[in-house]
Structure 1
């Protein structure tokens, strides 16, 4: 594991962990499958540039309801329940079970958004979340329209709950306790925003992401399952597609799919408004 081994070492001792697989590096963190007293867990270390700090607070607040449990957390170190099931929502979606996968993620969102007795943590707002879109260069005319819709939606929002902030097929995993969310960003805002990312996923599966009829079905399912206003669901989907494109532009990634998704979603959002 090289440098990663040195990074994990203090926490392996502190939390009495045994390595149970190879380390994994993502753009925001380093992870290591481990065992604590024989139980499968995951050790996660956030990188200094990571934006997932609020996600640790959100994960703790979810308290294992719809998400993996936090076993221990300190600073940028997190030890959490490891989801070890074999089923995949991406595989389900691309092999004819797209609507089943959508319903599973809607049920996960419902569990995450349920009221809890503890006060919610202080988290970044949707205004901050959309900053990259608001400040995006005029790379494509649809981005300005996405930004305008985002502002209207945020200004007219009547609720603020703890949101996952990055709900998609690869962030809801199979486990012995059922389907559980991982890797929340931690955002405070309207529930309808939390399903917006589903319209851009599964990642790389253009035939689903750019399918207008599929977007309409998705909006109908999540609106019914979560008692949401379909107009706001589609509005946030349109706005978030623009935000995704803005992030791509920031990172030097081709924003084509996000822009095409925004263009596909725009008339649906307008028709639902």
Structure 2
């Protein structure tokens, strides 16, 4: 039986070319050969390429030598994803997909297969938020004693420097008061965080699309960009999920406030810290989107930030 061809999904090609330089094209060119190498090394049989797949990763549905299903993920090398394998190893299947093998030097991981076409986005928002928080609580554990993960403080410090530069973009001229507020609020949050003793392993990119249905557990998280810090930072990305639905709802400003209040109460976090981190993360995402030419998402992010 002829093995399926390894084709690179259009979304992955478009994203890598848009977000990266010439190195991204070189990675895309080498990707089929890299996939073939790990299929052979880990004794895998290819079933099919996931379409549309990840934005910056190639995902192949495979069978292991014993016939069990798995997923081979090959991710574009970027700093935020460098410790994904370490987080998955530490969680060891508790709230997230299990990792069977990894080759961090190539961004390659052999993972438990989840139902890629059934995420929390398939549920009504209220039910999705409830399930999302339940799964996220399982991920909030103490990191290993000698861990490799970046702290929220260090990561946000770098984001603040980039946001300060992007503030001067011509397209951001009218947004500077909002950007300045996000910078001021984040500075205060970082200063105050030195007095807090909440150092938990965070997912870092937690939203409904990164929580998939699975056989071993109703829902499992995928694609972490792990950090160590406070829960409110992790919740902030969940707080701005489904912005297109929120923007089209009656009274979106009141709906945004209610969403944050419910999340803060359900997770037992300080509502002002959740609001502050949500404001910062959403403004940062909005200006990043502007910078890469994604005006649709930039508009959604920045409209939501203004509601806060």
TM class, shorter-length: 0.7 to 0.9
Q: Counterpart of 1:90 in 2: which secondary structure?
A: helix
With normalisation by structure 2, the TM-score equals 0.77
Which residue number corresponds to residue 61 of structure 2?
Answer: 33
Q: Counterpart of 1:247 in 2: which secondary structure?
A: helix
* Residues matched between the structures, number: 260
Question: Contact between 2:243 and 2:300, CA under 8 Å: does it hold in 1?
Answer: no
CA distance in 2, matches of 1:214, 1:34: 42
Question: Contact between 1:200 and 1:209, CA under 8 Å: does it hold in 2?
Answer: no
Which residue number corresponds to residue 262 of structure 1?
Answer: 305
Unaligned 5+ segments in structure 2 are: 1-5, 8-28
Which residue number corresponds to residue 122 of structure 1?
Answer: 148
User: Alignment RMSD, CA only?
Assistant: 2.3
Question: Contact between 2:264 and 2:274, CA under 8 Å: does it hold in 1?
Answer: yes
In the alignment, is residue 182 of structure 1 matched against residue 222 of structure 2?
yes
In the alignment, is residue 133 of structure 1 matched against residue 191 of structure 2?
no
CA distance in 2, matches of 1:38, 1:209: 50
For 1:202, which of 227, 231, 242 is the aligned residue? 242
In structure 2, the CA distance between the partners of 1:169 and 1:160, relative to structure 1 (3 Å rule), is same
Write the deviation string for residues 20-73 of structure 1: whole angstroms up to 9, x where unpaired. 222455442222111212222111112234631122222222221111111111
In the alignment, is residue 68 of structure 1 matched against residue 97 of structure 2?
yes
- The farther-off stretch of 8-17 and 202-211 is 202-211
Deviation at 1:208, TM superposition (A): 5.7
CA distance in 1, matches of 2:68, 2:102: 17
Which residue number corresponds to residue 217 of structure 1?
Answer: 258
- Structure 1 residues 1-273: aligned runs within 5 Å: 1-2=6-7, 4-24=31-51, 26-36=54-64, 37-49=66-78, 51-75=80-104, 76-84=107-115, 87-92=118-123, 97-115=124-142, 118-119=144-145, 121-126=147-152, 127-129=154-156, 130-131=159-160, 132-138=162-168, 139=172, 140-141=175-176, 142-157=178-193, 158=196, 159-176=198-215, 177-202=217-242, 204-205=244-245, 206-207=247-248, 211-254=252-295, 255-265=298-308
- Whose RCO is larger (CA < 8 A, sep 6+)? 1
CA distance in 2, matches of 1:210, 1:244: 23
CA distance in 1, matches of 2:141, 2:249: 29
With normalisation by structure 1, the TM-score equals 0.86
CA distance in 2, matches of 1:120, 1:80: 24
